[in-house]
Chains A and B, each alone.
Chain A
Amino acid sequence: MKLHPLSVPYRAISRGISVGTSVVFLGITLSGTGAIPDLIGPALVGLAILGVLVTAGWEVAYYRRFDYELTDDGLDLASGVVSRRHREIPLRRVQNVDISRNVIQRALGLAALDLETAGGGETEASLRYVGYDEAKRLQREIQRLKRGGAATDAGESVGRPDDPEETLFELSMPELVALSLLSFDLRYVSVLAFGPVAFPFVPGIADLAFLGGIVIVGLLAVGLWAISAVFTFARYYGFRLSQVGEELRYERGLVQRYDGSIPLEKVQTVTVRENVLMRRFGYAALAVETAGYAPGQTPSGGSEAAVPLATRERVLDLAREVEPFDPPEFERPPKRARTRYVARYTLALAGVAGLLLGARALAGRPDLWYAPLALVVLTPVAAQLKWANRGYARADRHVVTRNGFWQRTTKIVAYDRVQTVIETRTIFQRRRRLATVVIDTASSAGFGGREASAVDLDRTDARRLRELVGRRLHERLGERWTERTGRR
């Protein structure tokens, strides 16, 4: 099968604009240096047109040389203008199928389809672009074929009654507004960090740094909060999560529309997130992680298999729908772990004061270099909060871990999803007979230290947990094996 014919002009124009502008810029820059003969207006325009034409030609060739077919066992792709690539993706290995459409694509009836498997870091198959109906058909067919149906031709299955679609969750307008207001994306905070750093170099501001700095940081925080609110609103507009047979489906987006599917049997980890504000108002968010990628992560441009905001009870109900776990009874780390956090925060504050002192030695300011040390009185409170939000629970079929005060993250991992178990003890932990147990799954959200980890357990508890998880993995796999063979 071919891509949608309209994908040629769409790709050519979107690519052509960027190629054309970069050619013009390159021409202007180079003609100033004398590396090439000076270019005048018409020559530049001609060059740009040439660039656009070459791009258009390339896109026509791309379209002509791109072929895909959905067979009984997999999706076959043949692509490449100069170097050819044939790829077969076995359907059993497919993790997620995602469809995304921006405003222009929606007007043209186009859609981008991405298919993820567990292998590799990038999207395994990406159809840019097919018709929206065709994308939906592929998504449905892939699910049907995975259950062992036979392939049908296009058209035949369009509009055919499918598995009943049961809506699990729909984000209402008040909830969306609440979500936009409550979500303060920490990723934007890194921008904030540059604010205070710049102040010492602005003349006269150093003396005011303390008061003025706080005011400016406050203003920046409000601005960022507004930005995150707007982005969140556009991102989750019209969010809907439903279940079709053994698959979850989601839809969302105001400007760019996404819909995707996640097979329930491929779910690795279920994560419940609550930041301080959400906890205060009894709300929580839910993310379902598979081995393909995690919510909010490229390469699929931020596909989301998650409930962005709902009341705590609903989130827990939904989480149980995906992964039927018992209500966890958390065990906290031993109380002596708190001394570790106090020590850590004090050291961090001392480090900041040291940096400021160094800055004063070099630049003569700020005079109040010891000001961060005043915060030392707050470290016991911070340590207590960190300690109180930490914990782990061993349920019958799941292990649950919880961490974080500002953003409390609860991770639920079924024993039969565990890949490896890693117990670590840093020198600071060894002094206090503590250990951390990381329960690693194939979920791609794990990159960057976001695995389920039970932090600062007593040494013997850690060892027990490590062995227990390994043992339960085998028991559960054995049970699943007899369940399956017994049924056959």
Chain B
Amino acid sequence: METLNPRIRLVWGVGVLVTAAVLGVGVGVADRFALGVGAWIAVVAAVAVLGVGVGYVLVKYRVWAFEVRDDDLYLERGVLTRVHTVVPFVRVQHVDTQRGPIERAAGLSSVVVYTAGSRGADVTIPGLTPDRADALQERLRRLAIESEGDFDAV
């Protein structure tokens, strides 16, 4: 099984930081106008969210794994609900690489695999270095074409 680049923790961490900050400000405002407990409650709320969030990110990183197998792409992920997904190459419609602003700052990239399915219609593999993402995209693309035969993907 392959794991993600450790730097993905930073990217997710930034998300947690933003959430904690927004929540802290929200609680601060609520305190100012309604509760009147004291400014410390906002700090406590933000720190609590930050703590839970950091723990969540660490577990999420530990659980995340994927593998390019003979006939399919296999992924394991999820903190509260564990999700194991099998995406057969025959079903792959197209493959994207994506880079968000925070991912770019961390020097990371994601690969998105699309199928025609109704629920698992797109599967994102985050936390790849750009080279690895490009190589994975190319490999998936080739495997999808190879396995296609002459079938309509639906």
Spell out A's residues near B (CB within 8 Å): 92-93, 118, 266, 268, 291, 418-427, 430, 438, 440-447, 449, 451, 463, 466-467, 469-471, 473-474, 477, 480-481, 484
A467 to B71, CA, bound (A): 11
A480 to B151, CA, bound (A): 9
B113-154 contacts to A (CB < 8 Å): 115-120, 123, 147, 149-152, 154
A425 to B115, CA, bound (A): 22
With A422-B83, A423-B83 given, is the CB distance from A474 to B88 under 8 Å?
yes
Residues of the A chain whose Cβ atoms lie less than 8 Å from the Cβ of B82: 424-425, 430
Contact B88 A442, beta carbon cutoff 8 Å: no
Partner of B90, one of A423, A424, A442, A474: A474
Contact B80 A420, beta carbon cutoff 8 Å: no
With A420-B85, A422-B84, A473-B90 given, is the CB distance from A440 to B154 under 8 Å?
no
Q: What is the minimal beta-carbon distance from A93 to any residue of chain B, in angstroms?
A: 8
- How many residues belonging to B are interface residues under a CB distance threshold of 8 Å? 27
Tell which of B72, B83, B88 has the most Cβ of chain A within 10 Å: B88
What are 21 A-B residue pairs whose CB atoms fall within 8 Å in the complex? A93-B152, A268-B154, A419-B115, A419-B117, A421-B85, A424-B81, A424-B82, A424-B83, A425-B81, A426-B81, A427-B80, A427-B81, A438-B120, A441-B118, A451-B118, A469-B86, A470-B72, A470-B88, A471-B71, A474-B88, A477-B90
| Interface presence of B87 (CB below 8 A) | yes
| Interface presence of B78 (CB below 8 A) | yes
A114 to B121, CA, bound (A): 25
With A427-B81, A466-B86, A481-B149 given, is the CB distance from A474 to B71 under 8 Å?
yes
Residues of the B chain whose Cβ atoms lie less than 8 Å from the Cβ of A446: 117-119
7 A-B pairs closest in CB distance: A446-B118, A419-B117, A420-B120, A440-B117, A423-B84, A421-B86, A442-B116
Residues of the B chain whose Cβ atoms lie less than 8 Å from the Cβ of A268: 154
Contact B117 A441, beta carbon cutoff 8 Å: yes
Least CB separation from B81: chain A residue: A426
Contact A419 B86, beta carbon cutoff 8 Å: no
A484 to B149, CA, bound (A): 11
Least CB separation from A290: chain B residue: B154
A447 to B71, CA, bound (A): 26
A361 to B2, CA, bound (A): 54
Tell which of A419, A422, A423, A471 has the most Cβ of chain B within 10 Å: A419
| Interface presence of B9 (CB below 8 A) | no
Contact B117 A420, beta carbon cutoff 8 Å: yes
Contact A92 B83, beta carbon cutoff 8 Å: no
A256 to B92, CA, bound (A): 40
Contact A422 B118, beta carbon cutoff 8 Å: no
B47-85 contacts to A (CB < 8 Å): 71-72, 78, 80-85
A425 to B76, CA, bound (A): 11
Partner of B118, one of A424, A440, A466, A470: A440
Least CB separation from A480: chain B residue: B151
Q: What is the minimal beta-carbon distance from B84 to any residue of chain A, in angstroms?
A: 4
Partner of A451, one of B78, B80, B119, B147: B119
Residues of the A chain whose Cβ atoms lie less than 8 Å from the Cβ of B154: 118, 266, 268, 291, 442
Residues of the B chain whose Cβ atoms lie less than 8 Å from the Cβ of A438: 119-120
Contact A420 B78, beta carbon cutoff 8 Å: no
Residues of the B chain whose Cβ atoms lie less than 8 Å from the Cβ of A440: 117-120
Least CB separation from B123: chain A residue: A420
Least CB separation from A430: chain B residue: B82
Contact B149 A477, beta carbon cutoff 8 Å: yes
Partner of A424, one of B78, B86, B88: B78
Tell which of B71, B80, B81, B123 has the most Cβ of chain A within 10 Å: B81
Q: What is the minimal beta-carbon distance from B124 to any residue of chain A, in angstroms?
A: 13
Least CB separation from A442: chain B residue: B116
A470 to B78, CA, bound (A): 21
Q: What is the minimal beta-carbon distance from A127 to any residue of chain B, in angstroms?
A: 23
Tell which of B115, B117, B120, B147 has the most Cβ of chain A within 10 Å: B117
A477 to B80, CA, bound (A): 35
Residues of the B chain whose Cβ atoms lie less than 8 Å from the Cβ of A93: 152
Least CB separation from B120: chain A residue: A420
Residues of the B chain whose Cβ atoms lie less than 8 Å from the Cβ of A426: 80-81
Least CB separation from B79: chain A residue: A427
Contact A419 B85, beta carbon cutoff 8 Å: no
A443 to B118, CA, bound (A): 7
Least CB separation from A426: chain B residue: B81
Q: What is the minimal beta-carbon distance from B60 to any residue of chain A, in angstroms?
A: 14
Contact A419 B116, beta carbon cutoff 8 Å: yes
A386 to B81, CA, bound (A): 22
A426 to B83, CA, bound (A): 9
B93-131 contacts to A (CB < 8 Å): 115-120, 123
